[in-house]
Amino acid sequence: MKIGGTQVRMGMIVEYEKKLWLVVKHEIRTPGNLSSFNQVEMRDIKTGTKTNTRLGQSDMIETVRIDRKKYQYLYAEDDNLVLMDNENYEQIHIKKAMIGDAIIYLQDGMTVDVEIYEGQPLTIALPEQVTLEIIETEPVVKGQTASGSYKPAKTANGARVMVPPFINTGDKIIVNTADSTYVGRDNK
């Protein structure tokens, strides 16, 4: 389906210059009395290269129909991740590079969303939040208040997160996978 260039949004997968691109960022700009345009940053799905382009309303962009399926992460094998389809138990191999830096949050048995185009996996989406155990953190500094200060902590999977002073070694916390920020304490 074709849409105008100013309708392109973050997270869309579009066909542009005969390649598939994931829209990473977009910003609608209206310079003075000129017509508005969409400043778009896109990443090539196959090569990972990025490009910035300016799209106007008259620029017609083809959106791509993507199938989304749930898979369960089983294990890592060399530079691949092995995932299992929850419906028919079929296993697929996906390159670790496809998940990027978020791979640190991937846990055994985790359910992930895989976007598929014409039978080929394109992207992997982790859950928005994960629960992690703190294995190392600094002790509380006397007089430090919980509202304004944070301290560094290391989780069992190796991620480094800034946490409030009341979090101690052995505590379980909830972390946002998109930006590695502390969300709250897991009280389970």
pLDDT at residue 142, as a whole number: 65
pLDDT at residue 134, as a whole number: 93
What pLDDT digit, counting tens, does each position of 91-115 carry? 999 888 888 788 899 999 999 999 8
Q: Are 177 and 130 in contact (CB under 8 A)?
A: yes
- Report how far residue 116's alpha carbon sits from residue 64's, in angstroms, rounded to the nearest whole number: 11
Mean per-residue pLDDT over the chain, rounded: 87
- What percent of the chain is predicted at pLDDT more than 90? 39
pLDDT at residue 6, as a whole number: 87
- Report how far residue 139's alpha carbon sits from residue 100's, in angstroms, rounded to the nearest whole number: 32
In this model, does residue 89 exceed pLDDT 80?
yes
- For 112, phi then psi, to 5°, come to -125, 160
Q: What is the CATH number of domain 2-63?
A: 2.30.30.30
Residue spans per domain, the chain: 2-63, 67-125, 129-185
Under the banding of pLDDT at 50, 70 and 90, the label for residue 24 is confident
Q: What is the CATH number of domain 67-125?
A: 2.40.50.140
Other CB atoms within 10 Å distance of the CB of residue 126: 19
Could you say which DSSP state residue 139 is in? P
pLDDT at residue 166, as a whole number: 87
Under the banding of pLDDT at 50, 70 and 90, the label for residue 118 is confident
pLDDT at residue 72, as a whole number: 95
- Report how far residue 161's alpha carbon sits from residue 64's, in angstroms, rounded to the nearest whole number: 36
Find the mean pLDDT for residues 52-73. 90
Instruction: Give the pairing of strands 111-117 and 67-77.
Output: antiparallel
In this model, does residue 71 exceed pLDDT 60?
yes
Superfamily (CATH) of domain 129-185: Nucleic acid-binding proteins (2.40.50.140)
146 versus 159: the higher-pLDDT residue is 159
Evaluate whether 2-63 and 67-125 have a shared fold: no
